[in-house]
Structure 1
């Protein structure tokens, strides 16, 4: 890791007592694996906010991003919506992962199965200043695809 880890307080909820807390699978992993605290079957095209069985207190100045697991995405078409999802430092409710089935077969989410990754990240806040005009750039107001083919 490139810097000292931040400390995040975690509270287990009753339905998550016997589940592992989020953890790094290897020393070089960027994200902590998080597991499901419920069983649910996702039909093709369906989505569900899957319970994890814990809540956390993220320090001010940080967020925790929720990201999909690449193996679930490649093998089954299972991904996280609103990716990366953001857990704000002032949220104290249960962490839930919005899973979606983009595949062509039903997918069973099994309690205790790894469903996503959590990546803590610093947050840079901004102050907006309203102006009458913006500076000119080569791209200008060119939108989606305006710099490619």
Structure 2
């Protein structure tokens, strides 16, 4: 799937997610580091903000009228960005890119947390609450080990 927004891919994605809600998880790799394409919304600025043109469509036999109201802006100073499926879909596509990137990062953080906890446990001999760090440049002078051993390769003492 191309990660650049277009309505066809957007509607295809909707059908795929409707069939299988976990389908989005398979898109993580294709959406990682995808650029966001912003809509850049513009307000409609016109001479008349809320004016309607009234057109009589039909005079009924009972004296009532059928009337059509149409928007009348007068002079348009700035065209607004249309609120349509393309622009709103583009915004949702950007949300999907952000969500998949965050999901990937959170999964990575969880994996790293497990690795750090494992390494921490291994380095502290599975006694993480009974350990401390001391800076000693000269063993048996700055720090004298009475019970335990000193690992010269790793530069640590186990007491």
Normalised by the shorter chain, which TM-score bucket?
under 0.3
**Greater relative contact order (CA < 8 Å, ≥ 6 in sequence):** 1
Which of the two has greater strand per residue? 1
Larger radius of gyration: 2
Which of the two has greater helix per residue? 2
TM-score, with structure 1 as normaliser:
0.19
